Amino acid sequence: MKRFLLLLLFSALAYGQTGTEPPPRATLPPEKPGAVNLNDSDSARKARAVLDQTIQALGGEAYLKAETREEEGRFYGLHHGESHEVGLPYRQFERFPDQDRVEIIGKGHVVLPIPDVGIIVVGHEVKSKNDIVIIHNGDKGYETTYKGTAAQDKEELEAYLRRRRHSVDWALRKWINDPGVEYFYDGLAIVDGKPADRVTLLNGQNDAVTLFLDQNTHLPLKTSYSWRDPKDKQKNVEEEVYDNYKPEQGIMTAHAITRYFNGESSHQRYIYTAKYNLNLPESMFEASTTYDPYQPLKKK
């Protein structure tokens, strides 16, 4: 039996904002290595100041030191910006920075737009209470169904890892602590009618992520990044828009998230509850393969 397929992986480009190529990376003169501070500019200092305001708005030390998070909610697949489904419940558990577990409860033959993963088709034959469990641990991914556990498809895993590297949490917890990252203040923008400061971070691999930060609350309104498909060489833009922030244990948490891919919305999720710093056992994020999805199952 064929493995579950991801039908739609990404979404981006919210509210008419257009993705851009990363800013050109400054380079040091070869004859004077270390002579120039790449972030010694008004633009860089403004960008870092805005990011510091955002961290404080999110909860400061409470946000930065949070180790785990659990959320429960419901998510919807979108086609041309519209949902034709009732939505399905999910639970997600995270241990920062690189472990997460998503549990899906589905019924019948349904399409499941899994948060941070994509969309998976589940057939009538699924019997278990948790129809699908997706685990990511470091750079490895696993999918568990009633058939057992299989390694996540390579392209699906790469898509997930790309989203994680460009997430708000990675930008504010990892990117800004990298001495090789450059800061650019790109001016003002409008996200869903709200004025925002636009800040771009560029790392040593010429990879960039842009954050749109509310000028009034300083909370993240949107993230944006682009990448080129290795097959057709076309540029893709992925974005997430955040709304309905609520305080959870001293941490401001978005309870409505919409994902976009090349200008079209493809996924929405609404978080009902969020909890931080739970004592999550390591076993929740462990998995080992029990079958090869590309090999036919043996008949008993």
For the stretch 245-280, pLDDT in tens is 999 999 999 999 999 999 888 788 999 999 999 999
Which pLDDT belongs to residue 105? Answer: 73
Which pLDDT belongs to residue 114? Answer: 47
What are the residue ranges in the chain where pLDDT is below 50? 1-20, 25-32, 35, 107-127, 129-130
For the stretch 54-105, pLDDT in tens is 999 999 999 999 999 999 999 887 555 555 566 788 899 999 999 999 998 7
Nearest Cα neighbor of 270 from 67, 90, 58, 104 is 90
Which pLDDT belongs to residue 231? Answer: 85
Q: Are 209 and 224 in contact (CB under 8 A)?
A: yes
Which pLDDT belongs to residue 101? Answer: 95
pTM of the model: 0.79
Half-sphere CA count of 104, side-chain side, radius 13 A: 32
Q: What are the chain's domains? A: 42-285 (2.50.20.10)
Helix, strand, coil fractions of the chain, as percent rounded to 5 = 15, 40, 40
Separation between Cα atoms, residue 108 and residue 122, nearest integer Å: 7
Amino acid identity, residue 96? F
For residue 12, CA distances in Å to 81, 130, 160, 218 come to 12, 29, 14, 22
